[in-house]
Amino acid sequence: MRRSHLLATAACVTLACAPLAANAQFAPAGSGGSPTASVPGPGNADEPTATTPASTSRFSGPSPYAPQAPGVNAANLPDIGSMDPNDVPQMVPQQSAAPAQGDWSAYGRDDSQTRYSPLSEITPQNADQLKVAFVYHTGSYPRPGQTNKWAAETTPIKVGDGLYMCSAQNDIMKLDPATGKEIWRHNINEKYEAIPYTAACKGVTYFTSSQVPEGQPCHNRILEGTLDMRLIAVDAATGNLCEGFGHGGQVNLMQGMGESVPGFVSMTTPPPVVNGVVVVNHEVLDGQRRWAPSGVIRGYDAESGKFLWAWDVNNPNDHSQPTGNNHYSRGTPNSWAAMTGDNALGLVYVPTGNSASDYYSALRSPEENKVSSAVVAIDVKTGAPRWVFQTAHKDVWDYDIGSQATLMDMPGPDGQTVPALIMPTKRGQTFVLDRRDGKPILPVEERPAPSPGVIPGDPRTPTQPWSTGMPALRVPDLKETDMWGMSPLDQLFCRIKFRRANYTGEFTPPSVDKPWIEYPGYNGGSDWGSMSYDPQSGILIANWNITPMYDQLVTRKKADQLGLMPIDDPNYKPGGGGAEGNGAMDGTPYGIVVTPFWNQYTGMMCNRPPYGMITAIDMKHGQKVLWQHPLGTARANGPWGLPTGLPWEIGTPNNGGSVVTAGGLVFIGAATDNQIRAIDEHTGKVVWSAVLPGGGQANPMTYEANGHQYVAIMAGGHHFMMTPVSDQLVVYALPDHKG
């Protein structure tokens, strides 16, 4: 979501605003009219075969059987062989299973992905003395002539004597955790064309081999999935590629994917290793075409890089690699959030997104409808799902899950402990599930939803799931009186915009005759920042967004007029529609026009602030809200994108998560005011803040080096949040502990 667009300032008196607002037009986005293309019947709902004639429209992508474009196999690697999952060597205990006190061994610190650190040197009493200890430049930022697609989103990990991280374009480095000095750097030479919607690398994975003896190269490894779909293993001590992994340390993850172009499919999250199996997911660019590349989830041997299994939604019984000209089933739900491993149960928890062509569901298979926008627990021995819990049925709102699941223990009915999983969602509904069987631990109600909707042949489901046992991270349904502005003029504009749209709450069905309001939107609720959980105090920290969208389906004819075409169309030009915006949805009867629910003339959101919140929930005493307040000030935001400089904690859209520590502090950037802050975990009071050199759209982390606590955040910024992009990792410590 775009950065917040706020607020009347004294500088903008009504006099100054009147001429501009008077020019405002009331034309809604998109056009009306009925679809020109007929709705495909069940017979057309199948993926094209090798003999299906290719579409001749200049707005359509090639056949899924067409060869992959040059650069899709980025390192021109040979195919990887398969091995029997039963032959995977026994995994030795990993660093992330029980991190050393001062370490942060995995993306969410430990195997439970709690984002909780037992460090306590920094406290609410001394946090206001925090100073920059060092800054490290990754060197990845948009060069002249390149579109700004940057949002590094990186969280370093810290194991022993090294801080390991990746640049936005996947170069891997090891830093001295006390000084920020680069110990080694492994450049992977990724091409600009490989950047999909966003150049992001959320982190790397630390893996200790059971096969390579201690002291030998690649006993400890850094694993990384890349934007250009390579799985890379380097030696943690030297940064050199692990020759025994894949082909010279790399595996081509585009193997078996069928037709594609660079930037269509990419990895942005650190792959978890579960019982020796490294599991990879990937994002597939939204909104392009119904028969986009597969969202397949795959397991590889973390020792050898050999293929073990695939979970291919429309081939549920075939867990092998496609052979010959075949490929994994197209258009299936992709998973782009960080996954969570569970060694004890032998499962990986996959937060799934939506089938390709997010806003039209008539062409999806029953298999897809079962597993989209869900948590899927896959058995890492076989690649078969053991259970599925769906968070939105037949999703046509892009409520794909961006968050990583956090593992915790919940008290069970008979006093025994239940292994639980917390799944935040963009809906602001947080589901707490038993991770043995996926059954809800806290009550979930199926409540009526608008059905069947207005698109012929694409009915909505009559009910949707609501997590009634957890506080909802959302505000009530929007009303006309929630419309905002800096004057009655722009407020009136938004009131008309509100009334012109279809809106019947969270599950308002998509429409083609007029726009519909989507709240929470695709940036609403909890996104990839996920949640942090303090197992000692039982406090769960959640930051979330209030950012509605204004969407409209458009007929194929209108989509063509708008120039919407999929990224793999030979006529595609960058900027011609893309993820998180207007999309061709080639292969369906409709395209999609997606905009923020805002005043396009002032750049301010139409709804009243706040636009972003932070909430503390007491999980040990009835899931009550301990404190909750807006997150982010108006200092860097304002009408027409002008910074107001105001310290008013208005609550801005936010992207990126939090850290909670035994010192009783929550560290978080995320907001579009480009600040990092320390918040008292128990009271919610902001005890320290500092302005970053770029947007703080990344999860911070904390660690100990030379006996002192450090707090690190990648101030990489975010192109879509319109915060300044930088290549700087900023690390704070108390005075006298500077590197």
Partner 1 sequence: MPNTYGNRTLTEWLTLVLGVVIVLVGLFFVIGGAQLAMLGGSVYYLICGVVLVASGVFMVLGRTLGAFLYLGALAYTWVWSLWEVGFSPVDLLPRDFGPTLLGILVVLTIPVLRRLETRRTLRGAV
Least gap, CB of 428 to partner 1 (angstroms): 21
State residue 219 phi and psi, 5-degree precision: -65, -50
Cα–Cα distance for residue pair 662/678, rounded to 1 Å: 13
Selected from 147, 189, 240, 481, the binder of partner 1 by CB under 8 A is 481
517 contributes a contact to partner 1 by CB under 8 A: no
# residues near partner 1 by CB under 8 A:
30
Q: Which is nearer to partner 1, 202 or 495 (CB)?
A: 495
Tell me the C-alpha distance between 191 and 263, whole Å.
10
Stretch that binds partner 1, among 9-17, 128-136, 230-238, 260-268 (CB under 8 A): 9-17
In terms of phi and psi (left: phi > 0; alpha: psi -120 to 50; beta: otherwise), the region of 605 is beta
> Minimum Å distance from CB 505 to partner 1?
17
Instruction: For residues 435 and 377, give the distance between their C-alpha atoms in angstroms, rounded to a whole number.
Output: 8
Residue 490 touching partner 1 (CB under 8 A): yes
Residue 480 has phi, psi (to 5 degrees) of -55, -35
Q: How far apart are CA 638 and CA 603, in angstroms?
A: 8
- From 58, 131, 499, 685, residue interacting with partner 1 (rule: CB under 8 A): 499
- Inter-axis angle of helices 14-22 and 488-500, nearest 10: 40
**Binding piece for partner 1, criterion CB under 8 A, among 11-19, 121-129, 345-353, 397-405:** 11-19
Class of residue 415 by CB neighbours under 10 A (exposed 0-12, middle 13-18, buried 19+) = exposed
Select the residue interacting with partner 1 from 1, 8, 278, 725 (CB under 8 A): 8
Q: Which of 495, 558, 635, 719 binds partner 1 (CB under 8 A)?
A: 495
Q: Rounded distance, CA 682 to CA 680, Å?
A: 6
Does 27 bind partner 1 (CB under 8 A)? Our answer is: no
| 560 counts as catalytic | no
Task: Report d(CA 397, CA 629) in Å as an integer.
Answer: 27
Whose tokens are 């299906």? That residue is 52
Helices and strands counted in the chain (H then E): 4, 41
Catalytic residue among 398, 527, 569, 727: 398
Kind and range of the H or E element at 15? helix 14-22
Helix (H) or strand (E) holding 388: strand 385-390
Q: Is 468 in the site for partner 1 (CB under 8 A)?
A: no
Side chain identity, residue 431 = F
**Residue 493 found at the interface with partner 1 (CB under 8 A):** yes
User: Between 226 and 607, whose beta carbon lies closer to partner 1?
Assistant: 607
Distance in Å, CB of 597 to partner 1, minimum: 16
Least distance (Å) from partner 1 to the CB of residue 152? 33
The reply to whether 20 sits near partner 1 by the rule CB under 8 A is no
Taking alpha carbons only, the member of 136, 283, 303 closest to residue 201 is 283
CB of 555 to partner 1, least distance (A): 24
CA–CA gap between residue 253 and residue 185 (Å, rounded): 23
- Fill in the DSSP letter of residue 227: T
Least distance from partner 1 to the Cβ atom of residue 27, Å:
12
Relative to beta strand 539-545, strand 531-534 is antiparallel
**C-beta of residue 577 within 8 angstroms of C-beta of residue 283:** no
Binding residue for partner 1 (CB under 8 A) from 29, 97, 489, 690?
Answer: 489
Residue 398 interacting with partner 1 (CB under 8 A): no
Nearer Cβ to partner 1 (24/77): 24
Q: How far is the CB of 484 from partner 1 (least distance, A)?
A: 6
Specify the residue, 371 or 631, whose C-beta has the smaller distance to partner 1. Answer: 631
Distance CA 671, CA 685 (A): 16
| Prior bond of 520 cis (ω within 30°) | yes
Is 487 a residue that touches partner 1 (CB under 8 A)? Answer: yes
Could you tell me which residues come within 8 angstroms of residue 378 by beta carbon, excluding any fewer than 6 positions away? Answer: 279, 297, 311, 347, 348, 350, 384, 385, 386
H helical segments located in 396-537: 488-500
CB of residue 609 to partner 1, shortest distance in Å: 6
- From candidates 484, 503, 590, 703, binder to partner 1 by CB under 8 A: 484
- Binding to partner 1 in span 146-175, by CB under 8 A: none
Q: Does 613 bind partner 1 (CB under 8 A)?
A: no
- Residue in 438, 485, 521, 700 binding partner 1, rule: CB under 8 A: 485
Please tell me whether residue 608 binds partner 1 under the rule CB under 8 A: yes
Nearer residue to partner 1 within complex by CB, 65 or 601: 601
Centre a 10 Å sphere on the Cβ of residue 176 and count the other Cβ atoms it contains. Answer: 16
Please pick, from the candidates 11, 13, 625, 691, the single residue that binds partner 1 as defined by CB under 8 A. 13
Of positions 609, 663, 696, 716, contacts partner 1 by CB under 8 A: 609
Among 1, 2, 17, 535, binds partner 1 (CB under 8 A): 17
Q: Which is nearer to partner 1, 485 or 716 (CB)?
A: 485
Q: Which is nearer to partner 1, 608 or 737 (CB)?
A: 608
By CB under 8 A, is residue 491 in contact with partner 1? yes
What's the CA gap between 12 and 487, in Å, rounded? 9
Paired residues of 265 in beta bridges: 284
Rounded to whole angstroms, the Cα distance separating 165 from 202 reads 9
DSSP 110-157: STT---EE---SS-TTTGGG-EEEEEEE---SPPTTS---B------E
Question: Is 514 near partner 1 (CB under 8 A)?
Answer: no
- CB-wise, 260 or 487, nearer to partner 1? 487
The CB-of-475 to partner 1 minimum distance in angstroms stands at 13
Q: What is the DSSP letter of 658?
A: E
Distance CA 401, CA 421 (A): 14
496 in contact with partner 1 (CB under 8 A): yes
CA distance 244 to 305: 8
**Interaction mask 415-454, partner 1, x per CB under 8 A:** ----------------------------------------
Complex with partner 1: residue 62 or 609, whichever CB lies closer: 609
What is the β-pairing status of strands 658-661 and 665-668?
Answer: antiparallel
Question: Toward partner 1, which CB reaches closer, 26 or 622?
Answer: 26
Residue type, 562: L
The minimum distance between CB 715 and partner 1, in angstroms, equals 29
| 610 preceded by a cis bond (ω within 30 of 0) | yes
Residue of 242, 486, 686, 721 interacting with partner 1 (CB under 8 A): 486
We find the least distance from the C-beta atom of residue 650 to partner 1, in angstroms, to be 8
Buried/exposed 218-249: b ≥16 CB within 10 Å, e otherwise: bbbbbbbbbbbbbbbbbbbbebebbebbbbeb
By beta-carbon proximity to partner 1, the closer residue of 14 and 44 is 14
Q: Which is nearer to partner 1, 221 or 635 (CB)?
A: 635
Give how far the C-alpha of residue 398 lies from the chain's centroid of Cα atoms, to the nearest Å.
12
- Catalytic positions, please? 398
Positions touching partner 1 (CB under 8 A) are 7-8, 13-15, 17-19, 21-22, 26, 480-481, 484-493, 495-496, 498-500, 608-609
